[in-house]
């Protein structure tokens, strides 16, 4: 794996790997856990790779892969009530390129990868533990899909680390979601510089600094609001309502800037 890309060949895959593949125009990446025998366990919104339940889905779904109407005999559809599915590697990639998510990276490497959702400072657990979590969640679910707080990347990171953000009023573990929020946030926070300088390079440097700082502080390996939860305890909390994740509504999404 290099500095600019986590791209790997299939022969390099091993059970327990957190993998992902970018979709059309790099709008988003779909994440999952490779469990061996050409199978990937991943989290969806009731079988759909990504979604918000709002008009934003027009953009997200249009950038997703085109699926065959003929069911794949290898893939296991989502059970009723939850969106964790098992797919063959070909269906998971949907013609895209295979990438491996990196764990325990250095701060310098983390910041060098400007796009979120490719690596983390957190340390991965042993592969057998990762596979156990993924298979257990395939049978028991991972709660309600939420593109900002509980998405496919959150699922894969939990399987790899056992770490979960308990305060559901904040952002989840997903680096992609942090990037989506961090970009506009950096632009907003750097705007006051216009009052003290007209130097566009200084404003850009500040915006980039704010963006990088927000990504670094929000990484699962740096956050203080995470706990390690056994997968059996996680599903018990979800079943009893002790841990709830709600789908985002249109009213809950950030309003566009005027």
Which position among 18, 31, 42, 82 bears the catalytic label?
A: 42
Please confirm, yes or no, whether 152 is among the known catalytic residues: yes
The string of DSSP codes covering 173-230 is S-HHHHHHHHHHHHHHHHGGGGGT---HHHHHHHHHHHHHHHHHHHSTTT-SSEEE--
Which position among 18, 30, 31, 82 bears the catalytic label?
A: 30
Residue 229 CB burial class (10 angstroms; 0-12, 13-18, ≥19):
middle
* Inter-residue contact 171 to 218 (CB < 8 Å): yes
As a whole number of angstroms, the distance between CA 69 and CA 72 comes to: 9
Question: Which residues neighbour 25 within 8 Å (Cβ) at sequence distance 6 or greater?
Answer: 63
Please confirm, yes or no, whether 42 is among the known catalytic residues: yes
* Inter-residue contact 50 to 60 (CB < 8 Å): yes
Nearest to 248 by CA among 172, 187, 185, 175: 172
Nearest to 41 by CA among 89, 2, 98: 89
* Inter-residue contact 32 to 40 (CB < 8 Å): yes
Please confirm, yes or no, whether 82 is among the known catalytic residues: no
The string of DSSP codes covering 115-131 is SSSSB-SSPPPPHHHHH
* Inter-residue contact 171 to 181 (CB < 8 Å): yes
Which position among 18, 31, 91, 152 bears the catalytic label?
A: 152
User: Catalytic positions, please?
Assistant: 30, 42, 152
């Amino acid at each position: 794996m290099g500095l600019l890309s986590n791209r790997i060949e299939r022969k390099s895959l091993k059970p327990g790997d957190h993998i992902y593949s970018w979709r059309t125009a790099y709008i988003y990446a779909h994440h999952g856990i490779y469990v061996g025998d050409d199978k990937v366990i991943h989290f969806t919104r009731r079988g759909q790779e990504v979604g918000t339940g709002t008009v934003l889905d027009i953009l997200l779904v249009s950038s997703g892969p085109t699926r065959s109407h003929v069911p794949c005999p290898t893939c296991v559809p989502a059970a009723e009530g939850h969106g964790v599915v098992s797919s063959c590697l070909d269906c998971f990639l949907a013609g895209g390129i295979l990438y491996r998510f990196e764990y325990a990276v250095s701060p310098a490497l983390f910041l060098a990868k400007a796009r979120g959702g490719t690596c983390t400072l957190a340390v991965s657990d042993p592969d057998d533990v990762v596979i156990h979590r993924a298979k257990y969640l395939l049978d028991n679910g991972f709660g309600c899909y939420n593109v900002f707080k509980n998405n496919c990347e959150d699922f894969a990171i939990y399987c790899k680390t056992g770490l979960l953000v308990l305060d559901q009023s904040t952002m989840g573990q997903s680096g992609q979601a942090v990037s989506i929020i961090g970009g506009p946030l950096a632009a907003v926070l750097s705007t006051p510089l216009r009052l003290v300088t007209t130097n566009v390079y200084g404003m850009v440097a500040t915006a980039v600094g704010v963006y990088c700082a927000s990504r670094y502080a929000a990484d699962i390996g740096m956050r203080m609001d995470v706990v390690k939860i056994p997968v059996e305890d996680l599903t018990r909390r979800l079943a009893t309502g002790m841990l709830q994740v709600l789908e985002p509504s249109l009213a809950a999404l950030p309003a566009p800037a005027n």
